[in-house]
Structure 1
Amino acid sequence: MARSSSQDTMELLAPAGGWEQLEYAIHFGADAVYLASTRYGMRRRADNFDEDELPKVVEYAHAHGVDVHVTVNTMMTDEDIDDLRRYFAMLDEAGVDAVIIGDMGALAVAREVAPNLAIHLSTQVSCMNAESARMYASLGVSRIVLAREMSLAAIAEMRRRLSDEIELEAFVHGAMCMAYSGRCLISDYMAGRGANVGHCAQPCRWKYALVEEKRPGQYFPIEQDDRGSFIMSSNDMNMLSHLQELKDAGVNSIKIEGRAKGAYYVASVVNAYRHVLDGEDADAWQDELETTSHRPYCTGFYFGDPGQNQGTVEYARSHQMVARVLGCAADELGERGAFKLDGLCDAAEPYRVETLCRNRFFEGEELEAISPDAAVRTCTVKRLVWHAAPGTDLKDIERDGLGRIIGPDPTCPRGTLVAVEVANRTMERYSFAVSFELHERDILRIRREGQDVGRVL
């Protein structure tokens, strides 16, 4: 559940590329979320939201005390501008709190047709000085999303020259771009996919070699060192240990990158930043940022040259999400309860957690649970049960040694409980005994070190 921001703290702004990411951002403590519909957003690969979903998105977020910012920051054509009057009016009617804009024409239309929408200036405008910020404020902008190329000292100086009415928002975590504030044409030319309208193919991450025109097929490595050269591939940003410095510099909102990333990334990163913002030691939460897919970390341009990704690891993570918690029921030490079936209760594990399987896990494995209001806890999978859906063919389960049918599922009419050794049916329900209580949308994960992954989970 989100915590309400006070005037003496920074807003935690989290990405919501789809419904699940939205739910996890809120569950793990975001003060605000930023997202897009299927139009005018810079992350077309994200799930995004249909326009008719946006009122429900806003209703859900506001019910949890969370603001909704919608990105309208692609480069606009005249045809786009013609449609924006309808689009901004729709966002205004849906109750959206702010729009993130990078085009002057879009800004003018928003002021004209959507007076209730706060206007935030996109990082792609590269606003880096107070005079520029004041000019945009005179046009109706209430917040500047700072260029990621600014140093901490430059931000502090910009803040000193501005009135408090102009808010400053800064990126603190996630992927960075080799182009200035994200404005790049490499993808257009290399892959035919327009980066500035949300279709970047990330060719800056590719490994390049030199070819001489009279020697086709012969590739000569471009070597910066013995690992090759990745001169366009940036590291990921991680400012968890420097939140107080950002606050002291006058930043009002800290922003986590990642609208194209999955629910586990959103949950684990938001969770770490929330705990540190709420006063916990950053050192105690740095390891949490190693659990989800990332490139090597740096502190961006805040303290100088951010360095570059040398290409040895494109993505790495130490853990994998295995299940989403659907609910948790107390069995009151086995005296009664829905799961007092065939010896499935034990005083040492008075709770049974019901989960939605995302990746395989086994009876006897040690899992970690992440919850918004607790430190990371470990549990061992005991008395694992598959909640077979109504109509599931179970005739071969016992014959093939895949499980043991226990009986009807009291949580699902015509469902069946089956004791199993492995949870391996993705997006199906499993439950097992635990010694502590968990809550809906908590996450269960397993340590699987040394993984290189091509998709952020």
Structure 2
Amino acid sequence: MNKVELLAPAGDLDKLKYAIIYGADAVYIGGQTFGLRAAAKNFSIEQMKEGIEFAHSYGRRVFLTLNIIPHNEDIKDLEMYIEEIKDLGLDAVILSDPGTFMFVKQHAPELEIHLSTQANNTNYMSANFWHEQGVKRVILARELSFDEISEIRLKTPPTLEIEAFIHGAMCISYSGRCLLSNYLNNRDANRGACSQPCRWEYQLVEVNRPGEYIPIEETDKGTFFFNSKDLCMIEHIPELINSGLNSLKIEGRMKTVYYVANIVRAYREAIDAYYRDPEGYQYNPEWFDEIRKASHREFTKGFYQNKPTDKDQLYTSSSYIREYDFIGVVKSYDPETKMATVEQRNHFSVGDKIEIIGPNYYSADQTIEQIINDKGESVEKAPHAQQVIKIPVASEVKPYYILRKPKEGLHD
């Protein structure tokens, strides 16, 4: 049985490493142009080289996004950019624009090409067309059901790979083709600069009463009527695999290291559990509990089972639910002293109850009994960002393990 690929977002080099360590089969990254996520840190050419070398050392793959919808002024830089990236060892480039596709085919024919979800591929005829042009993989539009995906798989050749999003933010517009941001504040979503106006609160103005703002209220907090819930398909691993998908994609190049690691580890465990015993596979509710420990909105199944309804929108707030704080990462561990060297990411103190997570679904709870700063002094708190400290940890931990703690009062 060919195993489905778990594809993770990597907004920078650090996130790429955590995604790989925590179980992603492949990552997708963006350069500093053409990548549709201008707000992410993204990768310089040197960082791409390092990231590709790191991923390949683990036998994993790296895909580069080239999926903006370019204007004339963007094209002048394309030739130089393709020359810079074509020999880096990338495993594929992701694009949506036919002109960009033609250019890559002419100037870097050795690069594998994946068709972005921005191309709005919703049927098998379109998928076959692009495959005949030389596309190796089609990333399907989000607006497809399990039945539609299965039919696309049935009516396309096995040489064409198909990929779909299974987790992360949903766009109010058709597979990301949004113009709200352009219209409201002149930031082009289709060139990577979306200001996410779908998450804003709106009020109604009647044309004959200018300046009189009428709230559109589901509750006394107002209504965010463009604001979708987040996609989460952790409960449907067998259906995703059996629909014929070759790759399961997590959204989130602008998310934190902790988010990427935690979401990847949950899906990795669920996918591996299915392949260990497809007939006896049982969904484990702990996987969903783990996913909820990363920043999220309420969840939806998107279009997989039926078309979304009013139940798939968030009307009260655009804020994320954050039940846990990401407080540090392990840099090293001394088994003789049982002391872990930790780089702090958020404030924590002696007496805090924390959880430590790692790859292969490792998890352990403990209380912080001591904090030693870089001067060897015992202190009560670790308040400084990226402060390097030491704490006692009874069980052996390794670099890239993550420390988190519940929000105060959450589990009292």
TM band (smaller chain):
over 0.9
Deviation of the 1:223 alpha carbon: 3.2
Quote the residue 1:324 is aligned against. Answer: 329
Quote the Cα distance in structure 2 between the aligned partners of 1:11 and 1:450. Answer: 39
Aligned with 1:430: secondary structure? strand
From the superposition, tell whether residues 190 and 27 of structure 1 become closer, same or farther in structure 2 (CA, over 3 Å). same
Deviation of the 1:421 alpha carbon: 1.2
Aligned with 2:373: secondary structure? strand
Q: 2:394 aligns with which of 428, 435, 442?
A: 435
Quote the Cα distance in structure 1 between the aligned partners of 2:86 and 2:305. Answer: 39
Quote the residue 1:295 is aligned against. Answer: 297
1:428 aligned partner, one-letter code: Q
Do the aligned partners of 2:331 and 2:398 also contact (CA within 8 Å) in 1?
A: yes
- Point out the more displaced range, 210-219 or 166-175: 210-219
Alignment deviations for residues 295-344 of structure 1 (CA, whole Å, 9 cap, x no partner): 1101111011332112246210211110111011111xxxxxxx5xxxxx
2:89 aligned partner, one-letter code: G
Quote the residue 1:343 is aligned against. Answer: none
The TM-score with structure 1 as length reference comes to 0.84
Quote the Cα distance in structure 1 between the aligned partners of 2:316 and 2:17. Answer: 33
Matched, 1:136 2:141: no
Q: 2:352 aligns with which of 365, 384, 390?
A: 365
Deviation of the 1:148 alpha carbon: 0.3
Aligned with 1:436: secondary structure? coil
- Point out the more displaced range, 226-235 or 189-198: 226-235
Quote the residue 1:348 is aligned against. Answer: none
- Point out the more displaced range, 175-184 or 205-214: 205-214
- Point out the more displaced range, 277-286 or 317-326: 277-286
From the superposition, tell whether residues 226 and 359 of structure 1 become closer, same or farther in structure 2 (CA, over 3 Å). closer
1:27-426 aligned at under 5 Å gives the runs: 27-213=21-207, 215-224=209-218, 228-279=222-273, 281-306=283-308, 307-312=312-317, 314-331=319-336, 351-387=338-374, 416-426=375-385
From the superposition, tell whether residues 426 and 66 of structure 1 become closer, same or farther in structure 2 (CA, over 3 Å). same
Quote the Cα distance in structure 2 between the aligned partners of 1:371 and 1:246. Answer: 25
The TM-score with structure 2 as length reference comes to 0.93
Deviation of the 1:217 alpha carbon: 4.1
2:204 aligned partner, one-letter code: L
Aligned with 2:319: secondary structure? coil
1:293 aligned partner, one-letter code: S
1:234 aligned partner, one-letter code: S
Deviation of the 1:224 alpha carbon: 4.8
From the superposition, tell whether residues 157 and 450 of structure 1 become closer, same or farther in structure 2 (CA, over 3 Å). farther
From the superposition, tell whether residues 450 and 73 of structure 1 become closer, same or farther in structure 2 (CA, over 3 Å). farther
Structure 2 unaligned regions, length at least 5:
275-282
Quote the Cα distance in structure 2 between the aligned partners of 1:120 and 1:24. Answer: 24
Q: Which runs of 4+ in 1 moved over 6 A?
A: none
Cα RMSD (Å): 1.7
Structure 1 unaligned regions, length at least 5:
1-6, 332-338, 340-350, 388-415, 452-457
Quote the Cα distance in structure 1 between the aligned partners of 2:93 and 2:118. Answer: 14
* Higher gyration radius (CA): 1
Do the aligned partners of 1:99 and 1:119 also contact (CA within 8 Å) in 2?
A: yes
Quote the Cα distance in structure 1 between the aligned partners of 2:408 and 2:295. Answer: 11
Quote the residue 1:444 is aligned against. Answer: 403
Alignment deviations for residues 18-48 of structure 1 (CA, whole Å, 9 cap, x no partner): 1111111111011100011110011100000
2:324 aligned partner, one-letter code: H
2:401 aligned partner, one-letter code: D
